[in-house]
Structures are given as structure tokens and as C-alpha cells.
Structure 1
Amino acid sequence: MATTLGAPRPDPAVYMLRGAAGVGRAYKQELLELLDVRPGQTVLDVGCGPGTDLPALAERVGVSGTVIGVDRDPAMLAEARRRTGDLPAVEIREADVHALPVEPGTVDRAKIDRVLMHVDEPAEVLAQLHAATRPGSRIALAEPDWDTLIVDAEDLETSRAFTRYTTSEAVRHATIGRSLARHAQRTGFVVETVRATTPVFLDFPEADHTLGLGRNMQRAIQDGHVDEARGRRWFTSLSEGPFFASFTLVTVICSR
């Protein structure tokens, strides 16, 4: 497992699948339970990636239901098709999430999981989702708030600088988690439940892989946000002793 400052970003599909099996397991299970998918329903997974959640959704809708996974990345879609090839309830559709390829008012359940932080216009994606869902539908949204990222280190100021860089430069909509409920309500959804979970990392290599400690610190150094010698000392120190990092992830359940 790479723990090198500036190591390249891992393959996106591998990254997402590994995250779902690691610290993301608990919140994903809660999200699916709160979504309350039932047999025969039509479920939409917006930004389905490599199909992490599609098998679980297909199991819940049964033989009479439909699960639609939408993504624009051909590599992600290829992996999603590979993982769900023997699941007749699953349909994989290539499209930008700003233009969802579903008929208006046909979706009973929908989820968006860690996608809005990357898109051009979160409000536009939610508007598309509002149009796709039918009255009485249920929607699950989950996004992190990267302002809450904390990395324990003796050099506290460099840890703070790393979080500031992550929020201001590394992630497009880094604080979307805290505003999910507001965005959902403005779109026309009725907010029913808001949950906050705190994934905890005690293993440095796992945190480096998931949080991008080395690769984002290298970018922060290159962009002039952190002194190189200080950044390298900070990264090295993280690997040498007991490790702790965490952030807040917000889940919003709403209805149409």
C-alpha cells in the first residue's frame, strides 16, 4: 500500500469499492436502511460509479423492480456492468447527472452518495432528481463536509493548512454536506431526517489512500500553500506513531 508523498491517485473504481468496504460500510448500510426500498419499486442511483450499491438495491426491489444506475465515466460503467451482469433488475445508463436519462415522475427511490461535491451545479442535479421522482418518493443524499477534516499531528498548523487546502482547492464543493438539507428543501423536497456520522481512521496507510494525505499535501506544496520541508516532515510524522483522523459525513433523507 503506497504511503509516498505525492503518490498518484488510485484507480477511481478501486478507490470507491475499497472505501465502501472500509470506513464507509456503516454509513452506507444506514443510508440503504433509511431509503426503505421495497419490492417492485424503481430505484435510481445517481452517480453509481462502479456499481457499489447496485446489487444491494437489486436485492431489495426483487424480480418485479428496477434499479437504474447512472454515471458518465465509461470505466466506472464497465465495472458496474461487470458487477451486475447477472442481475436482470439492474439497468446501467451512461449520462451526465445534470441530465438524468429517466422519464419524469417515474422513480420511487433515489440516492446520491458523495457525488454532489464533485459536480458543476449541485442545485441543477437536485432539480433533475426532483423531476425524475414521483410524489411520495423517498430520496437519500450523503456528502462530507471537508471543513471538519482533522488529522492529528504535533504540527497542528500544518494539519490545519492541509484541511484548508482540501476545502479551498482539492474538492469543488467541499462543504456541501452541511448545506444538504437546505439545498434539498429549496429544490422542493421535504426533509425528514438529517444524520451526521464520523468515519474514524486509525490506520495511516488506509487514511492516506482514502483522504489523499500524501497526494494532496504534494499539491499543496506545489501550489505554495505549505512549505515543502514542513509538509514532508508532517507527512513522515504521520506514519511513525499512533494515527488518528476523521471527518463528518452528513446524510439527509427527504421525500417528494
Structure 2
Amino acid sequence: MSTTLGVSRPDQASYMLRAADGAGRGYKQQLIDLLNISPGQTVLDAGCGPGADLPTLAERVGELGTVIGVDRDPVMLARARERTSELPGVELREGDVHTLPVDPGSVDRAKIDRVLMHVAQPGDVLAQLHPVTRPGAVVGLVEPDWDTLVVDAEDLETSRAFTRYTTHEVVRHATIGRSLARLAHTAGFRVETVVATTPVFRDAEEADHTLGLGRNMQQAIAEGRIDRNRGQRWFASLSEGPFYASFTLVTVVCSR
């Protein structure tokens, strides 16, 4: 891993696809298994991004099923189209998750994966999701709780300061994971399953890519939240010897 701070943020679509194939592979498989998708069903991926999960969903619904991917970013949808161009059962629609472009009562299964932490009103998104699902539909939600981010370093106080900065300044709704079950219940869903998983990073470079260790530390220094020398020493030390970082993802499966 480079010890230089301030590496620019990677292309968002490439970042999401790499994360899905790396630290995200296990929880994503678990989420799709918990949705218990059957052939012929209609599945909604709300906030589908570059379409990392669309091929797997299409495989589960089979030739008679439909997968609807919704995202507001045309660039993301273009990448998703590339990934699903040979899958006739996949429909991509441009739209905001606050106002889903989906017919009422048309969805058998739905997933929202690491989207609610970024939106303006997470509760409103779930309230909009409820009417587009059919009675008996199953919905899977996954979000991180960034208060649980830990990065091992000899300078423990700087590690803690980095987590506080991430929670307070970097992520819009940093603790949304712990609130998922409550928000789903408020939106009218029945909470069936709550599972916590902990992605573990043992490679400093992969952690830097996924967690933004260098660029977020540089931002914290620039804003005067962490002393420059101390922050630079902390980041440089992460590539010295064994590395460990982790955080908690919360998966909530609910029914209509």
C-alpha cells in the first residue's frame, strides 16, 4: 500500500464492483439466499448501481421471471446495461429510490443494499417501497454501522478519531444499520430476520480502497480534525506488519 495520503476517490462504478467481488461477496450471497427467490418472480434491486447483483438475481428468477434495476445515475445504469445486455429478463429504469418507477403491488422480492446510508430520508424510501410490493413479498435490506469501524494501529487514539470522523463527517447516515429493523417496522413491514456480519480486512491496500483510509484521513487533516503529523504516521504504520480492520453490516429481512 502506498503511504501517500490523499489518493483520489476511485471511479464509483468500478469501486462498487470491486467491493462486491471482494469484501462484499459473503454478505451478498447471504442476502440473496435469505430472499428465497423462486423462478418466475419479479425482483426489484432498488439502487442497483452498476448492476453487480443483477446477473445473480436474473439466474434465480429464470426465463419466466423479471429483475428490475432502479438507479438515478445514468452512468451507473450504463454499466449495468453492459453487464446485463444478454439477459432478456432484466429491466433497467432511471429513477430515485424516494419515488420508485415501479407499479404498485408488482414486486415479489426486493433488496436495498448499502443505499439508505446515502439517501436524504431512509424512512421515506422504505415507505415508498411498501406499496410496490405484493402481499407476502420478501424484502432484504443491508446497511453498515460505521460506529463499529475498527482499524488496528499502535496509535489507538488516532484510530478512534478516524472512526469518529468517518461517522460524523464522511457518511450521511453512518449508523443506519442498527436502525434498519425499526425503520422497516415503521414502514409497515414485518421484520423476520436480523443478521450481523463482520467483513474482515487483512490486506491494507484492499482496506484502503474499500474504506477510504487514506483519502478520508487526508480530509480529516485538512479540516483540522486530526493532527497532520499524527495522521500521516498513523496511515504509514498500517502497511507495517500484519493488518486488521473490520466493521459490522446489518442485514434485515422482512415481509409484506
Which bracket does the TM-score occupy, shorter chain normalised?
over 0.9
Letter in 2 for 1:116: L
Q: CA deviation at 1:4?
A: 2.9
1:235 alignment partner in structure 2: 235
Q: CA deviation at 1:149?
A: 0.1
2:17 alignment partner in structure 1: 17
Unaligned runs of 5+ in 2: none
1:137 alignment partner in structure 2: 137
Taking the aligned partners of 2:107 and 2:230, their CA distance within structure 1 comes to 51
1:89 alignment partner in structure 2: 89
**Runs of 4+ that moved beyond 4 A:** none
**Alignment partner of 2:172: what SS?**
coil
Taking the aligned partners of 2:114 and 2:230, their CA distance within structure 1 comes to 31
Taking the aligned partners of 2:7 and 2:234, their CA distance within structure 1 comes to 16
Unaligned runs of 5+ in 1: none
Letter in 2 for 1:100: L
Q: CA deviation at 1:223?
A: 1.0
**Alignment partner of 1:49: what SS?**
coil
Taking the aligned partners of 2:3 and 2:61, their CA distance within structure 1 comes to 41
Q: Deviations over 1:46-81 (max 9, x none)?
A: 000000000000011111111000001111100000
**Does the C-alpha gap of structure 1 residues 3 and 35 become closer, same or farther in structure 2, counting only changes over 3 Å?**
farther
Q: How many residues align?
A: 256
Q: Is the 8 A contact 1:109 1:138 kept in 2?
A: yes
2:126 alignment partner in structure 1: 126
Aligned positions of 1:92-107 closer than 5 A? 92-107=92-107
Q: Quote the RMSD (CA, aligned, Å).
A: 0.8
TM-score with structure 1 length normalisation?
0.99
2:116 alignment partner in structure 1: 116
Q: CA deviation at 1:241?
A: 1.7
2:172 alignment partner in structure 1: 172
Q: CA deviation at 1:2?
A: 5.6
**Does the C-alpha gap of structure 1 residues 3 and 25 become closer, same or farther in structure 2, counting only changes over 3 Å?**
farther
**Does the C-alpha gap of structure 1 residues 107 and 2 become closer, same or farther in structure 2, counting only changes over 3 Å?**
farther
**Does the C-alpha gap of structure 1 residues 218 and 94 become closer, same or farther in structure 2, counting only changes over 3 Å?**
same
Aligned positions of 1:125-204 closer than 5 A? 125-204=125-204
2:84 pairs with 1:75: no
Q: CA deviation at 1:252?
A: 0.3
Aligned positions of 1:54-73 closer than 5 A? 54-73=54-73
**Does the C-alpha gap of structure 1 residues 41 and 249 become closer, same or farther in structure 2, counting only changes over 3 Å?**
same
**Alignment partner of 1:247: what SS?**
strand
Taking the aligned partners of 2:79 and 2:122, their CA distance within structure 1 comes to 25
Q: Deviations over 1:80-104 (max 9, x none)?
A: 0000000000000011111100011
Q: Is the 8 A contact 1:3 1:208 kept in 2?
A: no
